[in-house]
Amino acid sequence: MCCGAIDGKHVVIKAPPESGNLYYNYKESNSIVLMAVVDHKYCFSYIDVGLNGRVSDAGVFRNCSLYQALEDGMLPEGHVLVGDNAFPLKEYLLKPFPGNQLTLKQKIFNYRLSRARRIVENAFGIMAARFRVFEKPFPYSLEKVILIVKACCALHNWLNETKLQYRHFEYTVDSENVDTGEIVRGNWRDELEPNGFESLKNSLANHSIRRSQDFRERYADYFVAEGSIPWQTRMVY
């Protein structure tokens, strides 16, 4: 069972006084990192914000408060998070098969994973469209930036829950035409200027332990058997 999609964003800030290059990231801007898990309602179920943007992207996940809890078995057996290539492959965290020479089963797994991961990208995008403070680098103290980001996440969740209750959502999310394979872009994308969110850099390391690889293979087997959906094969060609 999927418990949510995980991703992180660099929240662009103005460098604090006398901080040197502590917050200087790979995009050549200064940032702190917002790590988040998003549920099926596009709500943030977990956030960690404040790690300096200079930390390697592989280290961002290891330094957030969620990592040790997951390593200690916080999730019930059979429950997983989904992430992209910025994250390590774990028994509790599924990521895509790497490379271009993939089998049909692996392509279908990556397609299904991509569909699930789309919720976190949309959640970040909708929040940035709602709260225009993300359009430019934050000029405030780190303490104030962290409070603002946390408040935006909380208000985003409240708005989602309220608008779902009344069946009204001011922004559409990305959707998929299962006949053509076309991704219909959510209208939040039309309102965003280059903003204060930057993606984590994909990790080039692929040192997943065999047990985690076998765990991913079992999910891949499931998606081409009893867990298949009618249109998945034509979506990967």
Taking the C-alpha atoms of residue 103 and residue 108, their distance in angstroms, rounded to an integer, is 9
- Region for 125 from its dihedrals, namely left if φ exceeds 0, alpha if ψ lies in -120 to 50, beta otherwise: alpha
Query: Residues 66, 67, 72, 75: what is their CA dihedral angle, to the nearest 10 degrees?
Result: 60
Find all residues with CB under 8 Å of 210, minimum gap 6, and list them: none
Sign (positive/negative) of CA torsion 136, 140, 141, 143? Answer: negative
Taking the C-alpha atoms of residue 97 and residue 84, their distance in angstroms, rounded to an integer, is 10
Find all residues with CB under 8 Å of 23, minimum gap 6, and list them: 13, 15, 16, 30, 31, 32, 52, 53, 54
**Helices 104-130/210-223 angle, 10° precision:** 90
- Tell me the pTM: 0.86
What is the Rg, in whole angstroms, of the alpha carbon atoms belonging to the chain? 18
The domain tally of the chain equals 1
Q: Residue 59: what pLDDT? A: 81
Give yes or no for a contact between 171 and 129, defined as CB atoms under 8 angstroms apart: yes
CB count within 10 Å of CB 52 equals 20
Q: Which of these, 192, 209, 219, lies nearest to 82 by C-alpha position?
A: 219
Range of the domain at 19: 2-234
Calculate the alpha carbon distances from 26 to 53, 196, 221 in Å.
8, 14, 37
Q: Residue 190: what pLDDT? A: 75
Taking the C-alpha atoms of residue 109 and residue 224, their distance in angstroms, rounded to an integer, is 8
Q: Residue 18: what pLDDT? A: 86
Q: Mean pLDDT per segment of 10 residues, for the chain of length 237 residues?
A: 92 91 91 95 95 82 91 89 92 92 94 93 92 92 97 95 65 73 76 67 64 92 92 86
